[in-house]
A = this chain, B = another copy of it.
Amino acid sequence: MKIGVLGTGMVGVTIATKLVQLGHHVTMGSRTPNNHAAAHWAQLNGINASQGTFADAVFYSEFVFICTKGEVTLEVVRMIGPNAFGDKVVVDVSNPLDFSRGMPPSLLICNTDSLGEHVQKALPYAKVVKTLNIVNCEVMVAPSKGGDPTMLLCGNHPDAKATVTALLKDFGWTDIVDLGDIKAARGTEMLLPVWLSLWNIVGHPHFGFRIVGR
């Protein structure tokens, strides 16, 4: 598939690299053409790896991963615009973390709303799936590194969730739970505070939540 990855940070680079390894054609998008990190990544990852603006990454793809920092996600998707996204599948990996009050971060949106819901509202024709946001990026693309936790996903479009589930299986996920519509993003985004506490206790980020007793 032709896949766009928005964001050039650790999450974007890790997911984009895994997608190229799986044989997909990946365009990494950033605010500016020839962003240093994106250009470097494209150079390292062969002919299936290219880079451009956010709009390029959406335009040249059938499927888009949002790997921006949560605090800029809505600004980025609105800048690209709902018409550019059309009815593509959009995987929102970002978390609405607020670092402005120091560590640990709190959430910018939670409880009666979620970033996932805001992304779906901003892109009304797109099929937004919230997933992968509950583990470290290295675990996202290699769940066995995190003890094979459960992956949770949600979204309003069953066909998009089926497409994303197939890709999650290619990433190595064996236990995937569909929580229902995009409102369930409230719960998965609200896992971040306990994840951050656990990171501090465990001493490394390669862990996750397995839902047991089902």
A interface residue numbers (CB < 8 A to B) = 101, 106-107, 110-112, 139, 145-149, 152, 154, 177-180, 184, 186-188, 190-191, 193-198, 200-202, 206-214
Contact = CB atoms under 8 A, between A and B. Distances in A.
Contacts of A190: 110, 190-191, 193-194
A190 B188 CA distance: 10
A149 B213 contact: yes
12 contacts: A106-B111, A106-B112, A110-B111, A111-B193, A148-B213, A149-B212, A179-B194, A190-B191, A202-B214, A208-B211, A209-B210, A209-B211
A180 B197 contact: yes
Count the copies: 2
Contact of A193 (B187, B200, B213): B187
A207 B202 contact: no
Nearest to A149: B212
B198 A206 contact: no
A interface majority secondary structure = mixed
Nearest to A191: B194
Contacts of A206: 213
Going nearest first, the 6 A-B pairs with the smallest beta carbon separation are: A147-B213, A147-B212, A187-B194, A207-B213, A187-B193, A146-B213
B145 A213 contact: yes
Contacts of A154: 197
A193 to B, nearest CB: 4
A214 to B, nearest CB: 5
A176 to B, nearest CB: 12
B177 A214 contact: no
Q: Which of A106, A184, A186, A197 has the most CB of B within 10 A?
A: A197
A175 to B, nearest CB: 10
B193 A179 contact: no
A179 B198 CA distance: 7
